[in-house]
Structure 1
Amino acid sequence: MAEEQPFALQRHEKLMERLRLHGAVRVRELADALGVSELTIRRDIAALADRGLLTRVHGGATLPTVLDETPARRRRASAPAFTIGMVVPSLDFYWPQVVNGARSAAAAHGVHIQLRGSSYDQAEDRRQILRLVESGQVQGLLLAPSLEGPGVAELIDWIGGLSVPAVFVEREPPRWTPTPRPLEWVRSDHALGLELAVRHLHAFGHRRIGLVLSKGSPTSAHLAAGWHRACEELDLPDDFVVRESVALNVPGHREIIGGIVDRCRRDRITALVVHSDPDAISVAQYLTEQGASIPDDMALVSYDDEVAHLAHPALTAVRPPKTTVGRTAVDMMMARLLEGRNRPVQRTLVLPELVIRASSITSSWQRETPPAG
């Protein structure tokens, strides 16, 4: 049975190609065109219908419509058809929610996720990816490789030439990647998420805002892009950008935060956007110890919303759509596996959410805001 799977995939690809071209197909014509029995074509149509990719009709199949709900309700209880390998740079902060989203989507599709942890290192990324591919057990890869520093072009070219397709997760390779296989990706729109934070602070009267970026984070470049764009559109100064990690476990974090606070006073900064939650909580604790009131003396917005609600006061935070990114990556990979190379390449941005809490709305604004209703 395992030997027949590649041939079945080829038939599915050709069947979907004809269906997209004509809108409908007939069993007899497909059997003649592909040189197989009508029973084989009926089985192919049934398999694709169970995944919601087409609708079975008498004598053939059509593209699904919004009125057809039966494929989603009719899942086979058979063993998973595919196994998808997933390599992430961390198994703790940020990434568990992405992995959970991928696993929930995989369960819905009836496929397995084979997870491997890496580190923010290209050599380790290659090692873990190669182990998955050489095992012969995976038909696709969800990858979050390190795209910082030298060797990025070689790494992307290597991934693009692998024997199985890959979808990048929370990573965006350079716009032009001349690889044998088109590279697809899905990630949070961090730049727009940062804009949400700046526009929120601006709406509550802040005109001198600062940005603290976590040193070495792949997200920082996107956040910086969103920062400069928002400041330009709102006619705000954009020169207060600090690239330092200031979480409680960083040696010398108090001295670093002290320097940031001194600069805030000199530059009359009234609000800070801080990446990520541990750094923002560290800043909040320092300000409170120094007798500053949050948000009256300094408004704070965190970027990540992993533990921002645990701070005192609870921190307003931008929440990247981590679970949705994981689910979307699996959906993208399943479409690629079922439809093949003829499927158009997808590259998807998912919008973060701004969760407003007590750290960004001053007492004066709260008093002036009439109660709802």
Structure 2
Amino acid sequence: MTTNDPRAVTKSLFAAQRRERIMDELRARGAISVKVLAAQLGVSELTIRRDVNAMADQGLLSRVHGGATLRNDLQSLSTEQAPAELRYNIGMVVPSLDYYWPQVVNGARAEAEKQHVRIVLRGSTYDAADNRSHIQRLVDSRNIHGLIVAPVTSGEAGHELLRWLNTLPIPVVLAERRSPPSIPAQRLEWVATDHAFGAAMAVSHLWKEGHRGIGCLADIESPTSAHVFRGWEQALRALGVPEENRLKEDSHGAKMPNREAFFDKVLERCRATKTTAILVHSDGEALAFVQHCQDSGLSIPDDIAVVSYDDEVAHLAEPAITAVRPPKMYVGRLAVEMITSRLTEGHRRPVHRIELNPDLIIRESSVGGRAARS
């Protein structure tokens, strides 16, 4: 059947373009958030949900709470084949589906396929109550053998969540999270990046490039930032840099609409403390800071060198930004390997807590500047 109504043709074209964009995002990130993609495309969340539902019915993707992920080979198995091969169902709760976490999820899915286990993914937020709600739903389904979670761990709400996780009747592995020493969580296991080591690598690199004033800009509300600040401070202390000469700023002030004023304040402090290089967590703030420096007439890296933490989009800047890159896919892979081993070996297996070293990807924003030539 054909139609001569140009409005119907245009509507179909727009739907096809949206769905191609959805697939592009999934191929690049492994997962998408309905809310984020709706904002990017300028359409309603209901429109994106309809697209996701239609594409899921076609077998192109998998629906998850709040978004979608790429399908894997296990999901393509027929219902007759799957029960005979699947060993365990593993619940996985991550705080975001549009930054950092898609690579962790991809790593988990790859290892799950090798281990013949199924990942049941839920996207949550950076809120302890929301984390608990999603985890509780998985536990209540009575179809989950173990959990991989990235919960809030700070504050009383985070501490209470950790205590509760430690009492669950199924094994729990934390991904990119740790239980603080003050919380008796003897049963919890985890695999996490040594972010303090990553920050120290960045400081060492900038020091070798001739910088003696090295600052740090990070959002204290991020679970990663405390480790980044700690590694930065330990590295400067080891290098003998006096504490009064250290620029340390909470990048939470870089949120719009106060970003320009905040970065102006940072640059004033850079001049006052003779800071010529800065480590910024995360990429979004690093890109915004580089652009603000350039708009202010400063050259990168001649006037100030920049290293980002996360390496999600740092390469897209001009100049490309040197970045600390956590091994995100390996975090997901090892989390699945760890919980599968726990389910297989039971109490005979000792509690495992693994830290992985990140890499430093050196680019134009931190090399060959004025400090290195002086």
Pick aligned residue for 1:351 from 357, 367, 370:
357
Contact 1:170–1:325, Cα closer than 8 Å, also in 2: yes
Shift of 1:88: 0.7
1:54-86 alpha-carbon deviations (Å, 9 max, x no partner):
xxxxxxxxxxxxxxxxxxxxxx98421101000
**Aligned mates of 2:373, 2:228 — CA distance in 1:** 32
> How do residues 1-373 of structure 1 correspond to structure 2 at under 5 angstroms?
78-175=84-181, 177-179=183-185, 182-238=187-243, 239-245=246-252, 250-363=256-369
Contact 1:85–1:115, Cα closer than 8 Å, also in 2: yes
**Aligned mates of 1:129, 1:202 — CA distance in 2:** 44
Same amino acid, percent of matched pairs: 48
**Aligned mates of 2:319, 2:122 — CA distance in 1:** 37
Shift of 1:167: 0.3
**Aligned mates of 1:328, 1:256 — CA distance in 2:** 39
1:98-125 alpha-carbon deviations (Å, 9 max, x no partner):
1111111101111100001111111111
With over 3 angstroms needed to count, the CA separation of the structure-2 counterparts of 1:297 and 1:365, relative to structure 1, is closer
1:338 alignment partner AA: T
**Aligned mates of 1:365, 1:234 — CA distance in 2:** 17
Shift of 1:236: 1.7
**Aligned mates of 2:179, 2:363 — CA distance in 1:** 34
Shift of 1:246: 5.7
Shift of 1:176: 5.5
Contact 2:151–2:158, Cα closer than 8 Å, also in 1: no
Contact 1:246–1:283, Cα closer than 8 Å, also in 2: no
- TM superposition score normalised by structure 2: 0.75
Shift of 1:267: 1.4
Compare CA radii of gyration and give the structure with the larger one: 1
With over 3 angstroms needed to count, the CA separation of the structure-2 counterparts of 1:319 and 1:101, relative to structure 1, is same
**Aligned mates of 2:147, 2:194 — CA distance in 1:** 22
With over 3 angstroms needed to count, the CA separation of the structure-2 counterparts of 1:158 and 1:367, relative to structure 1, is closer
Shift of 1:169: 0.6
**Aligned mates of 2:191, 2:118 — CA distance in 1:** 20
Contact 2:277–2:304, Cα closer than 8 Å, also in 1: yes
1:97 alignment partner AA: Q
With over 3 angstroms needed to count, the CA separation of the structure-2 counterparts of 1:108 and 1:276, relative to structure 1, is same
Runs (4+) off by over 6 Å: 365-368
**Aligned mates of 2:357, 2:159 — CA distance in 1:** 27
Structure 1 unaligned residues grouped into runs of 5+: 1-75, 369-373
With over 3 angstroms needed to count, the CA separation of the structure-2 counterparts of 1:166 and 1:88, relative to structure 1, is same
**Aligned mates of 1:266, 1:363 — CA distance in 2:** 20
Shift of 1:89: 1.0
Shift of 1:177: 4.2
Shift of 1:293: 0.8
**Aligned mates of 1:366, 1:198 — CA distance in 2:** 14
**Aligned mates of 1:121, 1:276 — CA distance in 2:** 19
Contact 1:87–1:129, Cα closer than 8 Å, also in 2: yes
Shift of 1:154: 2.4
The DSSP-based 3-state class of the residue aligned with 2:108 is helix
Contact 1:246–1:254, Cα closer than 8 Å, also in 2: no
Contact 1:186–1:347, Cα closer than 8 Å, also in 2: yes
Shift of 1:364: 5.6
RMSD: 1.9
With over 3 angstroms needed to count, the CA separation of the structure-2 counterparts of 1:146 and 1:250, relative to structure 1, is same
For residue 17 of structure 1, what is the aligned residue in structure 2?
Answer: none
1:232 alignment partner AA: R
**Aligned mates of 1:153, 1:102 — CA distance in 2:** 26
